[in-house]
Amino acid sequence: MIKENYDLIKNNITSTCKKTNRKVDEVELLAVSKTKPMSDIMTLYDLGQRSFGENKVQELVEKYEGMPKDINWHMIGHLQRNKVKYIASFVNCIHSVDSVRLAETINKEAHKNSRIIDVLIEVNVASEESKFGLRIDDVVEFLDNISHLNNVNVRGLMTIPPNPKSPEENRMFFRSMYKLLVDINHEKRDNVNMNVLSMGMSKDYMIAIEEGATIIRVGSDLFGSRL
Contact residues: ligand PLP, CB under 6 A: 32, 34, 55, 76-77, 160, 201-202, 217-221
118's enclosing H/E stretch is strand 117-123
For ligand PLP, the closer of residues 105 and 159 by Cβ is 159
Is the Cβ–Cβ distance between 51 and 31 less than 8 Å?
Answer: yes
For ligand PLP, the closer of residues 59 and 221 by Cβ is 221
Q: Give the residue from 187, 185, 181 showing the smallest Cα distance to 199.
A: 181
Q: Cβ 112 to ligand PLP, closest distance in Å?
A: 26
Non-local (6+) Cβ contacts of 130 within 8 A are none
For ligand PLP, the closer of residues 192 and 213 by Cβ is 213
Q: Cβ 187 to ligand PLP, closest distance in Å?
A: 27
Is the Cβ–Cβ distance between 2 and 31 less than 8 Å?
Answer: no
Q: Give the residue from 63, 38, 22 showing the smallest Cα distance to 210.
A: 22
For ligand PLP, the closer of residues 60 and 201 by Cβ is 201
Q: Cβ 144 to ligand PLP, closest distance in Å?
A: 26
Q: Cβ 154 to ligand PLP, closest distance in Å?
A: 18
